[in-house]
Structure 1
Amino acid sequence: MNTAHITTKTLTLELEGTTYTENITDKETGRKRLLGLIQEKAAATGSTDIAVHVQGEEPIGLRYASGKVSKIDVPQQAAQPAVKEPQAEPVEPIAPIDLDEMDDDALDMPVLEGRTMREEAAETKASEPVSPAPVAAPQPTAVSRPSVAAHAATNTSKPTAEQFYTAKPTTAEEPARQGWRGMLNSFGLSLAPSNEELSERKARREIQRGLKSHKTIMVANLKGGAGKTTVAYLLSSVLGRVRGGTVLAWDNNENRGTLAYRSPVEANTTNTAIDLLHEMSFFENSGQTAELINFVRPQGENKFDLLASQHQGSDKPVINGEGFISLHNLLRSFYRMMIIDTGNASNASTWQAAAATADEMVIVCSNAEDSAQTAAETIDALIKKGYQEKVENSVAVIIDSAKNKDRTKAKVDKERLERIQNHLAQHVRAVHVLPWETSLENGGAIDWDKLTPKTHRALIEVSASVVAGL
């Protein structure tokens, strides 16, 4: 059997004694290029089988015949890659459920046994002696009807609408759309999704779960540069992209925030929260949602709006706690969900107002001693102010440090991360770690498309945890 090897940097195809090697940017690019390379180079060979080994993944077999690529089982002797690292054995795909072949007993519906009430009543009446009716005053024949008590007793053995609903068969998962399985399904196969894809689908369903009322989420850390604004923007992006609806990211910094500066979308307005506060009388009881476009900034494909804080160098007064409450009461009638990016002072009235109105909190820090220390102090400050229940229901997000090539320093980073996780886990409901992203390190615009798939998946898990607590 011919072989192919894909790493994060190279693609190698050994076909009928000839080796083809190409440089690639990542494994996903290598997968796509391999299919094209097979069709280019294997056309002259007719039919050929290839054992494909992707770095860190299970081997898979491909067969090229008549211009088409299909999946086959990998022979045991070909399942081992050229490198010495052990490979996981191929996982058999999960056969999709065929509802037409399911046994009716699988529905577990209650079965009604015995005769009907009408049959029982007729038999009982026939067995009783019949007294002759007086000739002078014949009585009309009465229709036999069950009593109310008998009717209720009989109904207890019959299924309810709720039982009918709960007895329906589970809907089978759709075929894979990601990775090798998704790629092969595009050629007409119907492979089941991997565990990783199933996990992401479950998280997406949680994010899309219906909520009974407006919800406000506060993002907090008493230190500047801890990653609050980054997480606030990315959390809003996931909620906008996956959940949809009306989502607002609000920069509630007591001085001036940078949430608007991190937006990759050109601003449609220079107005900020303080400007909207001055125009509240226009919006109160008017329902003029469309006019909000003059004060908030739509974020394109991220599908949420952004409300900026005061500009640097502005001579306008900053918004205070009372103003925050007034604006919050107004905006909650226009938005189903608000993500509040906060400042660095727990004694500021705006910070306290955000904590008071928040339905849930997200505690953010980076994998650094100072950032983690202030995250711990933020939790202490919230508990001291009476928000222990909110802290216990909160989600912590740690932004990991860059990968260190020095083994000693990498070990220190890993141990610090574990120590931060252990401390936060004793206070909050869930702790998540976001991978280091080079595109975010300079504090510039946050571009969703520049983030790695690994970060996308991690953000979906974070967002699912947040929605689960609402």
Structure 2
Amino acid sequence: MARGGRALDGTETGWGRSAEPAPRWRALLDRARLGGRTPEQVEADRRAEEPPARDPLPRRGSGNGWSGRASAAVPPAPSTYGADPGYRAEASYRVDPAYRAQPGYPPEPGHRADPGYPPEPVAESRYALLDNGYRHEPPPAESRYAPLLDEGYRSGYAPAEPTYPQQSGYRAEAAYPAAPTYPAEPAYPAEPSYAVEPAYPPAVTADRGYPARIEPARIEWRPPTPQDEQERAAGILRRDLGTPRVLAFANPKGGVHKTTATVLAAATVGSVRGRGVLAWDDNELRGTLGLRAGSARHARTIRHLISDLAHIEIREGADLLEALDDYLRHASDGSYDVLAGEESPRFAQRLDQFTVKRVLELLRRTHDVVCVDTGNNVESANWRTVMHAADQLVVTTVPREDAAFSADWMLDLLHEEGMGELADNAVTLISCPTPGRSSLQDDLERHFATRTRAVAVVPYDPALETGSSIEYHQLQPETRQAWLRAAAMMLEPFAR
């Protein structure tokens, strides 16, 4: 098989990229876990971040005659209040007996000679008198504040001030007698005008009868409950989306629940919004969305719609809805519509870029949310047109290495084709095909969280295992709750 005049020997893909074996996915997982570094670099960084080993405990010094303790030449001076620590008066600062009155100057009259008096002791500090410690003793009895300090504060008028003892040289003045003692004022009864009306008794406390104090309101924070999360997700799906939105469910690998995810997303959004939601099977190679969703009230598919597309596009309003309804199927509960794909592979040639744009424009005129189940051929114009027109990309996968590798390769392809913003803002949807949690699921969540905007996980449900018609109301409550959160995650950027 040749392409562009050059034969493909199996070492290149259709996009001019070197073929990569399946173990590359394990390398991608290692890159996600190690942040793009090799195990040797991680080990080197870990050793560099380790704190240095602590120095061993210092050894005791050799003995110096004091059992290993440093000897002091002078015993430390006792600590004094206000004195500089470590400072004490030296003996050399005492009064020298040699310094006496000069012979030429006789002492003044009435002044005795110095030798008759012993030298006054020199205090080590001018605050030495306070070195004995501050004693919490009551003031002397002659203090006017003694009754207050000894017995505490008393209510009423203060007693008469005591007379002060006569000091030397002074005579008590008769004009200043002691202050008389005033009797306490009698209690005044409450005036009748201040009585509270019996019809409005005030709230009183239990102890003193004062009006009750109004306590300020307190705001307590409570963690969100699952019920709060469900209400928030439903509120997002009810909001106005601005313009009609197109959700593309894609993964080149088959069997990764693209069709199941397209149907359940449309059913979830339609159950909340009530109308205006459509699921389109755009798989050009015999899609099964029309078989798994909607009532088979007719056998019309996308092929019949395209044949009459020119006559339908010119209609408006209710007339347009009525004309388009003849080509759509409906869910059993009427929550969403279905545009089935064509079963014949020959019809794929008619789905060119221009035709797909016309179909999408028509569906946007009649529906608010259009969920598109894309095919597996990433080289077709049909697949690329849907990707360019999509407002939100949903990458579907299951916890398998081959499915995850195909999804990761598709994101690289979108970046190469100039649709990197669509890939970065995508939502990765991991569907669990079996009960229990796969050992690979944690690796997938961490990896795609670095490549897409969000990651949603929907659990296994036995109602989906048979592969027959999907009935939303038959799903388990846990499955419906998970899909409600996943659908809200898809439409949250557009909700107003």
Mapping of residues 382-461 of structure 1, within 5 Å: 382-403=414-435, 413-414=438-439, 416-461=440-485
Q: Which has the higher helix share?
A: 1
> How far 1:285 moved relative to its partner?
2.7
Structure 1 residue ranges, 4+ long, deviating more than 3 angstroms after superposition: 312-318
For 1:231 and 1:338, locate their aligned partners in 2 and report how far apart those are by CA, in whole Å.
Answer: 13
For 1:357 and 1:445, locate their aligned partners in 2 and report how far apart those are by CA, in whole Å.
Answer: 29
Q: Which residue of 2 aligns with 1:253?
A: 283
For 1:281, the aligned partner's letter is A
> How far 1:434 moved relative to its partner?
0.8
Structure 2 residue aligned with 1:231, among 239, 261, 264?
261
For 2:242 and 2:431, locate their aligned partners in 1 and report how far apart those are by CA, in whole Å.
Answer: 31
Relative to structure 1, is the Cα distance of residues 313 and 348 closer, same or farther in structure 2, using a 3 angstrom cutoff?
closer
Mapping of residues 371-382 of structure 1, within 5 Å: 371-382=403-414
Q: Which residue of 2 aligns with 1:211?
A: 241
TM-score by length of 1: 0.55
2:306 is aligned with 1:274:
no
Q: Which residue of 2 aligns with 1:222?
A: 252
Alignment gaps of 5+ in structure 1: 1-102, 107-169, 171-191, 405-409
Aligned residues of 2:250 and 2:258 also touching (Cα < 8 A): yes
2:337 is aligned with 1:308:
no
For 1:193 and 1:238, locate their aligned partners in 2 and report how far apart those are by CA, in whole Å.
Answer: 26
Aligned residues of 2:286 and 2:345 also touching (Cα < 8 A): no
Aligned residues of 2:300 and 2:328 also touching (Cα < 8 A): yes
Matched pairs, number: 274
Relative to structure 1, is the Cα distance of residues 373 and 313 closer, same or farther in structure 2, using a 3 angstrom cutoff?
closer
* Structure whose CA Rg is larger: 2
Q: Which has the higher strand share?
A: 1
For 1:460, the aligned partner's letter is L
Q: Aligned with 1:469: secondary structure?
A: helix
TM-score by length of 2: 0.52
> How far 1:241 moved relative to its partner?
0.5
Alignment gaps of 5+ in structure 2: 1-213
Report the RMSD for the aligned CA atoms in angstroms.
2.4
Q: Which residue of 2 aligns with 1:240?
A: 270
Relative to structure 1, is the Cα distance of residues 269 and 316 closer, same or farther in structure 2, using a 3 angstrom cutoff?
farther
For 1:392, the aligned partner's letter is D
> How far 1:266 moved relative to its partner?
2.8
Aligned residues of 1:393 and 1:469 also touching (Cα < 8 A): no
> How far 1:343 moved relative to its partner?
0.4
Deviations 1:226-263 (A, max 9, x none): 10000000000011101233111111112221101112
Relative to structure 1, is the Cα distance of residues 308 and 261 closer, same or farther in structure 2, using a 3 angstrom cutoff?
same
Deviations 1:156-204 (A, max 9, x none): xxxxxxxxxxxxxx9xxxxxxxxxxxxxxxxxxxxx9981111100110
For 1:322 and 1:221, locate their aligned partners in 2 and report how far apart those are by CA, in whole Å.
Answer: 23
Relative to structure 1, is the Cα distance of residues 234 and 290 closer, same or farther in structure 2, using a 3 angstrom cutoff?
same
Q: Aligned with 1:333: secondary structure?
A: helix
> How far 1:318 moved relative to its partner?
4.5
For 1:314 and 1:443, locate their aligned partners in 2 and report how far apart those are by CA, in whole Å.
Answer: 26
Aligned residues of 2:284 and 2:348 also touching (Cα < 8 A): no
Mapping of residues 112-123 of structure 1, within 5 Å: none
Q: Aligned with 1:204: secondary structure?
A: helix
Aligned residues of 1:361 and 1:391 also touching (Cα < 8 A): yes
> How far 1:351 moved relative to its partner?
0.5
For 2:455 and 2:300, locate their aligned partners in 1 and report how far apart those are by CA, in whole Å.
Answer: 36
* Larger RCO (CA under 8 A, 6+ residues apart): 2
For 2:279 and 2:477, locate their aligned partners in 1 and report how far apart those are by CA, in whole Å.
Answer: 23
Aligned residues of 2:295 and 2:332 also touching (Cα < 8 A): no
